[in-house]
Chains A and B, each alone.
Chain A
Amino acid sequence: MEILVYIEVKEGELVQGSLEALAAAKELGNATALVAGDADAAAKAAVYGAPVVCAKVDAANPDAILGAVEAVCKAKNADAVFFAGTQWGKDLAPRLASRAKTGCITDVTGMEKDGDAILYTRPAFGGTVIEKMKNHGALQVCTIRSGSYSKPEAGAPASIEECDPGEADIRVKVLEAAKEITEAVNLEGADIIVSGGRGMGSKEDFQLVVELAKVLGATVGASRPAIEDGWISRAHQVGQSGKIVAPKLYIACGISGAMQHISGAIGSKYIVAINKDPDASIFSVADLGLVGDAKQIIPLLIEEIKKRK
């Protein structure tokens, strides 16, 4: 099985999710990495052992990238194209599938071979239901959910081939790309995460979550309501529509435990939940639950932890 993997590049660095997709491809068949535009990035991709195709296109324009993936897919006679489960990956994969008249599976957490076919595993309904899917189209297209595979081992660099994919059908013009969130929030790599939700009540009281995180040397997380109410930037979001995390310790403060959120944190080793509703669903997945108002509990917790330091 010939598998093409589109490797996303952000500020010169390869996106972790793309490397996970490359690992998935190497497990299943012969992987080829496709990098758009950037020769330095192509060299970085080559160390993961799969031959690299570097397509000379405007990597800032999604239509140009889609054209390149489509052209290389045809030229290499690929059986499958994998994308990272990032915003760009999730945009490009269904568009490619539509052009190739095939299906697309998004948010894939696992794959196995079933004869010549691939059997995909993906969560639905916020993670309470797991689906096993098959794509009966000729070309297999999917996006890999972040955190589902570990990145491949680096080794002796593979070959790099430059390619001019020809004219793409450009329908959008990029006017401006702006960075508003400059803080680096490493939720995926964190050992401890302290997350806050709607139960924190206000932007001011959400600061308690930040303080507790500081005392523990932890990364701050948040559920969707806290993000949507503007208490903290969306770079901190944990859950189905945010980051999938797996820290040693996850402390959920004032989070009721919607599946949307829980599915993003369920891989944590130890979960502590603080919530005033004793029936909150977060308690059903917590190793330790504290029933009470997070706004009262957190200051005391901070005090106790400081005492023991």
Chain B
Amino acid sequence: MEILIFVKQVPDDGIEVHLDPAAGTPDTAKIDKIANAFDTYALELAARYVEANGGNVTVAAIGPDGTDSMLKNLIAVGAKKAYLFKDPSFEQGDEASTANRLAQLVKKCEAENGAPYDLILCGKESTDEISGQVGARLAEELSLPFVSSVIEITPDGDKLIAKQETDEGYIKFETAMPAVYTIAKPGYDPRYPNIKAKMAARKAVIPTFSAADAGVSEAPCYVECVSYTEPPKREAGLKIQEKEVADTVAKAMEILIKDKVL
């Protein structure tokens, strides 16, 4: 099976993002860029799938300079091929624009791969904008079956069974191929690269394409971000740190009772 995963490069979500006071926009310049966590879960799930059932995993990303090193890291942890799409025009737009471009890029990826994809995966959401729309919109752009928050995929003849995580448990869906799924966190973590894989990935050359190279036409855009603000700050209260834990607890109890919380 040929699997294509679209990966987004995001600011490290362990670091708080604040507004640049001069520009009034989110200041992410100094924050390390990493592969979106849910996209790395998608890669691990796909890598395990092809290890068990055969096939290849391709990762592809739209992104600026530096995105190629993220893609190299992904080659070290299960991806066989990687493509980068880099163009100033790709940096503008909303979720509709991104999904429309990705739908157009599938064809370019297939031409480069020399084979069509049976399954297209995205993370269920990105950790920066957290809008969770792109996978769903991509499925619609391509008129393909869509299942979100998948944590397990099993082959079933010429069909796939996708296990979707829900609030209470799970739902199992059957779909034809190709299909578009978004991936939630399965019950395992993405692998760490071993030295050999790391060395090989470092040498990998990531084919990079502009909008013109990839044959991407102008994408629609509907949503405009009018302004950014920061939410009102909550004031920090009292912090207790006594030498003895018992004293810390005793003091805290006093305050909780005084504040009528307990």
**Contact residues of A with B, CB < 8 Å?**
62, 86-87, 90-91, 93-95, 97-99, 101-107, 119, 123-137, 169, 171-182, 216, 228, 230, 234-235, 240-241, 248-249, 258-260, 266, 270-272, 278, 281, 283-293, 296-297, 300-301, 304-305, 308
Contact = CB atoms under 8 A, between A and B. Distances in A.
A172 B246 CA distance: 58
29 contacts: A95-B139, A104-B131, A107-B130, A124-B130, A128-B16, A128-B17, A128-B230, A129-B17, A129-B229, A130-B229, A130-B231, A131-B228, A133-B223, A135-B223, A137-B223, A172-B173, A178-B172, A180-B170, A248-B261, A249-B261, A266-B231, A286-B237, A286-B239, A287-B259, A288-B256, A291-B241, A297-B249, A301-B253, A308-B257
A129 B245 contact: no
B125 to A, nearest CB: 8
Contacts of B136: 91, 94-95, 98
A258 B256 contact: no
A260 B13 contact: yes
A235 to B, nearest CB: 7
Contact of A134 (B95, B141, B223, B245): B223
Contacts of A124: 26, 128-130
Nearest to B159: A173
Contact of B173 (A175, A216, A248): A175
B94 A103 contact: yes
A125 B17 contact: yes
Interface stretch (B146-154, B191-199, B209-217): B146-154
A87 B148 contact: yes
B146 A171 contact: yes
B78 to A, nearest CB: 20
Given A133-B226, A290-B249, 12 more contacts: A104-B96, A127-B231, A128-B230, A136-B223, A171-B176, A172-B175, A177-B172, A180-B169, A235-B168, A284-B236, A304-B253, A305-B262
Chain B, interface size category, equals: 35 or more
Contact of A136 (B19, B125, B128, B222): B222
Q: Quick one: which of B14, B131, B165, B226 has the most chain A CB within 10 A?
A: B131
A283 B236 contact: yes
Contacts of A179: 168-169
Contacts, number: 242
B167 A235 contact: yes
Contacts of A281: 16
B132 to A, nearest CB: 5
Contacts of B252: 272, 288, 290, 301
B222 A137 contact: yes
State the main secondary structure of chain B at its contact with A. mixed
B241 A129 contact: no
Contacts of A101: 220
A293 B242 CA distance: 12
A129 B18 CA distance: 7
Contacts of A103: 94-96, 221-223
A206 B171 CA distance: 29
Interface string B70-92: 00000000000000000000000
A14 B226 CA distance: 34
Contact of A105 (B99, B223, B227, B231): B223
A293 B245 contact: yes
Given A124-B128, A135-B223, A172-B174, A291 B240 contact: yes
Contacts of A129: 17-19, 26, 228-230
A39 to B, nearest CB: 24
B255 interface: yes
A141 to B, nearest CB: 10
A283 B18 CA distance: 18
Contacts of A172: 145-147, 173-175
Contacts of A86: 167
Given A171-B145, A286-B237, A135 B225 contact: no
